[in-house]
Amino acid sequence: MKYFGTDGIRGKAYDYINESMAYAVGRSLYLLKAKRIIISRDTRESGHMIVREIKRGILDSGLEVIDIDIQSTPVLAFMTIQKSCYGVMVTASHNPYQDNGIKIFNKGIKITPDQEKIIEDVIDGIITLNPIMQGKEILNYNPLFSYFSLYESFITPTSLKIVFDLANGASIKPAKHVLLHVSNDIEFIGDEPNGFNINQNVGSTHMEHVVNYVKENKFDIGFAFDGDGDRVLTCDSSGNIIDGDLMIYIFAIYLKENNLLKNNTVVLSKMSNLGIIEALNSKDIKVVLSDVGDKYVLQEMEKHGSILGGENSGHVINKNLFISGDGLLNAVYLIKILTEKNTTLSELIKDVVFYPDRLYNLRNVDKTLVHHPKVISLINEITKELDGKGKVLVRASGTEPLIRISASARKMELVNDIIDRIVKTLESIQQERK
């Protein structure tokens, strides 16, 4: 795809994602047979411009648009199911405020590659559009009372002392609406957005913020969301970080104990640590590995009849709760498990032994180098050397201009050696091309 990556369209606001592109996206939606579109955004200053132009395109196509203002991506996805319609979320998720992006949903699920191609053709002026018509706009619609219905069957009041880092992002309204029903001992940090501070030293990409707050103020647990609220990471009272894979491990054990883990199968990504996979296997739970990206996780879940899957980044899909990732929903579900079992996070994950691993982001290189024969040959060579006692993954980021290199093995020295070999090979090829 020319514009769509692993998670919608994403790039520099005003430059890459400009008025023209935003308007074209709005104008294109009638070609997807959309009649009504819900639109929302995160707290980035640039969201005003992008939403304005997308709405203008929608209205010029004679469609109905419902503007729910600043809400999380999961709230938008839920409302597209409730209203049986399409939705547009203006967000760049965990990226800095200078970036923005566009995610498009149809009844809770991200649109297909064929639909993405139609939108790209409209952006490029390849498709002739219908004449301008007059649409209808609905403002001041509050979706949170409907959204809360997701929680009513399992929300569990707790005595735990909890802090939530809201990343100065889109989760602020839904989190404060829902969590009033969970505990009287909750604090919020990262809840003062100004249009320019989303993800800035806060949220799931800066776990030190919530970790330090938990330890300094003696909280039992801390949660941190990303900018648009579809991911969550957590930490225990000692500041130990519980990533998405560990959360999936906890959920999988709980669901299996309650005969709710369909096909005894979970889906993780190729970035997952081998220690998690071995721990799940030891509990007679099958693990399927997907490519990186929540849409690929979801594809494997559907293929293998699994209700639970996700990524170590904190994007977790628990179909017992909802059909796509929701950071707040998963946080409340984890609180339920802890409260119901009267236990701690460290106790729930005590059987997991992580392999040493490392993720390295290589910048200023051509992302297509991941397909170079020398790189592929080296990866195959390393995989053979590891003989199932480790793994390596080299991939182009779908949301940022870099190549991600991850490796895990029995010893950290070997992990570092693997990363170094791959980096040197990529940089050597890049130099040869100059």
Structural contact between residues 265 and 281, judged by C-beta atoms closer than 8 angstroms:
no
Tokens of 142: 């509050």
Tokens of 66: 């419902």
Instruction: Give dist(CA 198, CA 205) in Å, integer.
Output: 11
Residue 264 is classified by DSSP as G
The 3-state DSSP class for residue 134 equals coil
Active site residue 93: yes
* Of 366, 380, 387, the residue nearest 421 (C-alpha): 380
140 — alpha (psi -120 to 50), left (phi > 0) or beta? Answer: left
Q: H or E segment at 167?
A: none
Residue with tokens 């970080």: 241
Identified catalytic residue from 28, 46, 72, 93 = 93
Instruction: Give dist(CA 291, CA 293) in Å, integer.
Output: 6
Instruction: Give dist(CA 261, CA 246) in Å, integer.
Output: 16
Instruction: Give dist(CA 47, CA 59) in Å, integer.
Output: 18
Structural contact between residues 29 and 116, judged by C-beta atoms closer than 8 angstroms:
no
Catalytic residue numbers, as ranges: 93
